[in-house]
Structure 1
């Protein structure tokens, strides 16, 4: 079984789930209609593993032991792994988007859809109860509220490096190639056209940014999501290291040049200091 920690916005996660079902013919979980049931609807098991109550129902039903599904997605990592028993062989992956882009998309998706945060400014939204800051670090450390510290970040780093195959949204096609290799996934159409078509649509959405890098809005989110931003850059390192340790490739970037991880870290620290100097 494959388990993915779904750390995207709902719309992007929906596209990935569609790829899993339509392109790879994997059985997965998602609540299609009320009430939740242990029945398949259009090839999807009608349980919502994106909620804690749904995970509790899945655990009570022992869906891992039944072999009913191949993959399930959840934003609650620790609760999700409780579905597994020691003899099960679940393997987790995550596909991370830049935290600023993730929060931007969440903010924009809420506005104009009749939600409680519809008329909030970005600054108001970031401080409102509807927004949970640093969701990735909080999910990995199971600390959904309260102040985060450096210890939370270090724990999240350790879990990410030991437990996950790392995918990066900006390199979505490469990520899917790795998933195919690692999990032995097979395209259900000749030539992989289903994957190419869906991945190009999704990759374009993930790379788009309403708030320009370095803008007041971008920096406002980056400051609020400080720990997730640091974890994202660490995930980039893992993504490149796994290319060698798992997939036997050299540490090179998309330009074909060898990656200097020390330089990446130095530039990130310099950027953080500059943000502090200008009051962000």
Structure 2
């Protein structure tokens, strides 16, 4: 919502609502509400493998219509691009266990989700520990980051090193725990500072106040649920430690004093 508020044209899961999944040609349409008027959307859904295939077929990358592409499945999203129509990747990362816990509670209330496998109101009656042990929750929260980057579910130490190299060479990383600082890095790198007054208002409404937040109980470190999640996210936890290091490294190398940013105009792609 922040970048939509900033006036950027986005490709995301929202692009196909109101019947736009039936469109036969690629186009931009506007949707808005009182808080975020005039959101500009490309009529594709880049959040699923099926949507990515449709976006590729319609020529999303070649069209140049999207300033930013939201893609939670980067391994598959890259198939939309080619050597003549490329993108730069940036992403906000969250601690894997915090993300897994948040997802458990999100699924209890997410009645707006189109995917029937996401919204599970019956989980409101289930303890997270019981869900992990007895109700099939393990598959939903196991090494999400690694799966997103590599497009598979079972990993080795070699896969971990491959994921690190992808992040190091391809991704401008941000941290959810340092949201405002991370967004400032993104805006600096991509040159999204043209309208400072608008940017300030968008920060206040979409970042500082937050959208799509779902307050919930936390899982204490050291608890049985925490340890279960740690075992399930063995590779993700190691990868996240590397992301923390990479965040500091990029801060020094890309955003240190006296460092100039020379960024060509292009589509950008992000994962949440």
* TM alignment of 1:93-132, pairs within 5 A: 93-111=90-108, 115=120, 118=123, 119-126=125-132, 127-128=136-137, 131-132=140-141
Q: What stretches of structure 2 of length at least 5 have no aligned partner? A: 32-39, 112-118, 259-272
Aligned residues: 230
SS of 1:111 mapped into structure 2 = helix
Partner of 1:81: 78
Task: Give, in angstroms, the shift of residue 175 of structure 1.
Answer: 0.4
Separation in 1, partners of 2:214, 2:45: 24
The superposition leaves residues 118-168 of structure 1 with CA deviations (integer Å, 9 ceiling, x where unpaired) of 24442453444761511110111111x3x3221221111111111100000
The one of 208, 214, 224 aligned to 2:232: 224
Does the residue aligned with 2:209 lie in a helix, a strand or coil?
Answer: helix
Is the aligned partner of 1:91 residue 2:92? Answer: no
Q: Show the counterpart of 1:167.
A: 174
Q: Secondary structure at the match of 1:80?
A: helix
- Asked whether the 8 Å contact 2:100–2:141 carries over to 1, the reply is no
Q: Does the 8 Å CA contact 1:107/1:125 hold for their aligned counterparts?
A: no
State how far apart, in whole Å, the 2-side matches of 1:47 and 1:239 are: 31
User: Which deviates more from structure 2 when the two are superposed, residues 68-77 or residues 202-211?
Assistant: 202-211
* Alpha-carbon spacing, 1:178–1:203, altered in 2? closer, same or farther (3 Å): farther
Q: How does 1:226-245 map to 2 (within 5 A)?
A: 226-245=234-253
Summarize the Cα distance change of 1:60–1:203 in structure 2 as closer, same or farther, 3 Å threshold: closer
Residues 206 and 232 of structure 1: is their aligned pair in 2 closer, same or farther, counting only changes over 3 Å? farther
Aligned residue in 2 for 1:269: none
Contact 1:117 1:125 in 2 (8 A): no
Task: Quote the Cα distance in structure 1 between the aligned partners of 2:186 and 2:214.
Answer: 18
Shift of 1:246: 1.0
Aligned to 1:134: 143
Q: Which runs of 5+ in 1 are unaligned?
A: 1-17, 251-280
SS of residue in 1 equivalent to 2:46? coil
Distance in 1, Cα, partners of 2:41 & 2:241: 34
Within 2, Cα distance between the matches of 1:130 and 1:33?
32
Which deviations, in whole Å up to 9, do the C-alpha atoms of 1:92-111 show, x marking residues without a partner? 00100111111111101223
* 2:4 equivalent in structure 1: 21
Q: Distance in 2 between matches of 1:122 and 1:91?
A: 37
TM-score (norm 1): 0.73
Q: Return closer, same or farther for 1:204/1:111 CA change in 2, 3 Å cut-off.
A: closer
Inter-CA distance 200–214: structure 2 relative to 1 (3 Å threshold): farther
Aligned to 1:63: 60
Structure of greater relative contact order (alpha carbons < 8 Å, 6+ residues apart) = 2
Q: Give 2:18's aligned residue.
A: 33
**What's the TM-score once normalised by structure 2's chain length?**
0.75
Q: Deviations over 1:57-80 (max 9, x none)?
A: 110111111111111111221221
CA distance in 2, matches of 1:193, 1:57: 34
- Aligned residue for 1:125, secondary structure, equals helix
Instruction: Please say if residues 28 and 72 of structure 1, whose CA atoms lie closer than 8 Å, have aligned partners that are also in contact.
Output: yes
Report the more deviating stretch, 54-63 or 201-210. 201-210
CA distance in 1, matches of 2:70, 2:187: 17
Which residue number in structure 2 is paired with residue 44 of structure 1?
Answer: 41
Distance 1:201 1:187, change over 3 A: farther
